[in-house]
Amino acid sequence: MSFSDAMRTVRDSLSARTVYAEPYERDGITVIAAATVIGGGGGGSGDQPKVDGAGFGLVARPTGAFVIQHGKVSWKPAIDVHRLVGLAGAVTVALVLAHRRGR
């Protein structure tokens, strides 16, 4: 894969289709799921013939969904329970350490 091919793949991967799912409709309600997508790529070549390299990375996580019902649009955020529990644990540890240090 050439560098330009790799960059084209990165560009195509970071399109609106990656962020927004196809609308799903049922019983008069339309849902459009959305995600946060972070990505990047790079590449280069060496002094030797046929020594080229390229690559990219992509991270996506659900963000929420737009819900269209009775002509009104609302946003329903996705809640990452594991992340929320981890954050609560980190805050608790920080508070305990700060309290101990204050003695």
pLDDT at 90: 94
pTM above 0.75, yes or no: no
Residue whose entry in the numeric block shows the structure tokens 């809640």: 79
Mean pLDDT computed over 11-21: 73
The mean of the pLDDT values for the chain is 83
Look at 48 and 88; give whichever has higher pLDDT.
88
> Would you give the end-to-end CA distance of the chain in angstroms?
61
Where residue 70 falls (left for φ over 0; alpha for ψ -120 to 50; beta otherwise) is left
pLDDT number for residue 72:
96
Mean pLDDT of 53-66: 83
Does 17 score more than 80 pLDDT? no
